[in-house]
Amino acid sequence: MKKLKKIHAMLYAMEHDPAIGRTKLMKFIFFADLIHYNQRGTTLFDSTYIRMPKGPVDPVAYSLTGETNDFFTVKKSRGKGKSSATRPYDHYLFQVRVPVNRDLFSRYEIALFHMILTALRGKKATSVSDLTHHLRLWKEFRDGEEIPLDYFALDDDEMRLVESFGLFIDGFQREFCTRMTTLSADLSDAIHPFTPERVVKVEEVLDDLVVRYPLPSLAVFYDAYLAWDDTFRLALRLNPAVVSSLTAECCDALCFTSYAVQSGAVGREVLAAYCEEVEERFDTIREGLFREHPENLCEVTTTTSDLLDLTMRLSRSLALEMPPGRR
């Protein structure tokens, strides 16, 4: 499934930039994995990367782009160097043979592809390669060596370098996704019901994120975020098995909205309608939890500690007083 997703991601790049060459196409796949890893904690395509002279390369993607296959044709020509000292090079052109299956991708993933292609457009392949040569994941290995996944975690200097190229990674969406993905996975696998002490610790993380929510810059998504927050707190008590999927859905929506606001690539009305859909989706899930667990309703509404209630009300009040939110 991940290989098919990778193939259709390359088809997407070929459709949107028919002149894209092999080097840039390899960087397109690499940057998608790099950004996804730093925002979500996992690579998008589950790729393995090898250190190559022109940067990190996914061997599967590299092999696929070497010759015509069922998905796209490959036309290779020999280019001449600009001078006698410059070596000849192979030039690749691709033509899609099957349409892109966009159902394989979320809104966030499509936005991620759009951002990368926008950053690559107009830049020479050599300048794109030079960027990757400044990253530890390339500098600390030799050609042909496999790059360990933990090297994909960018430090602050690398983050600034990549963002100066037009690839935006950092922000509240990154903090939310990195903190909540790990926490949600632990909760989903843990024995339920949780002790009051554990619930308090989880609530403290949620409260802190509510206070940190970036108003007014992401005001358009604020109601949807609070709807997720309410649903997560309820699931924590009634059905922790669903918290991972809840967090993944919110991460996707938050990353998409952050990109849309930052880039201006989505109209205000369209983006507002999308955020309302997300809010309604979380409200529906919360209502479903109530219906599925009627026996726990009394416990949820009457036995929650005063400390939790006070903390939750305080954090919400602080966030809502920050100008100018939607509520």
Residue 56's DSSP bridge partners are: 51
User: Tell me: the pLDDT tens digits for 80-111?
Assistant: 655 444 556 678 999 999 999 999 999 999 99
User: Tell me: the pLDDT tens digits for 27-85?
Assistant: 999 999 999 999 998 999 999 999 999 999 999 999 999 999 999 999 998 766 554 44
Identify the DSSP state of 87: P
pLDDT reported for residue 300: 54
Q: Stretch 107-128: mean pLDDT, rounded?
A: 94
Q: Which amino acid appears at position 300 of this protein?
A: V
pLDDT reported for residue 298: 54
Give the closest residue to 202 by CA, choosing from 218, 214, 190, 217. 190
CB burial of residue 5 (10 Å; 0-12, 13-18, 19+): middle
CA distances from 40 to 30, 36, 179, 221 (A): 15, 5, 9, 19
238 band by pLDDT with thresholds 50, 70 and 90: very high
pLDDT reported for residue 308: 46
CA distances from 14 to 7, 99, 147 (A): 11, 11, 26
296 band by pLDDT with thresholds 50, 70 and 90: low
Give exposure, 220-252, as e/b (b: 16+ Cβ within 10 Å). bbbbbbbbbbebbbbbbbbbbebbbebbbbbbb
Distance between CA atoms of residues 99 and 164, nearest Å: 33
pLDDT reported for residue 79: 66
Q: What pTM value is reported for the model?
A: 0.84
pLDDT reported for residue 95: 97
DSSP string for 193-240: SPPHHHHHHHHHHHHHHHHHS-TTTTGGGHHHHHHHHHHHHHHHHH-G
CB distance 216 to 323 below 8 Å: yes
CB burial of residue 93 (10 Å; 0-12, 13-18, 19+): middle
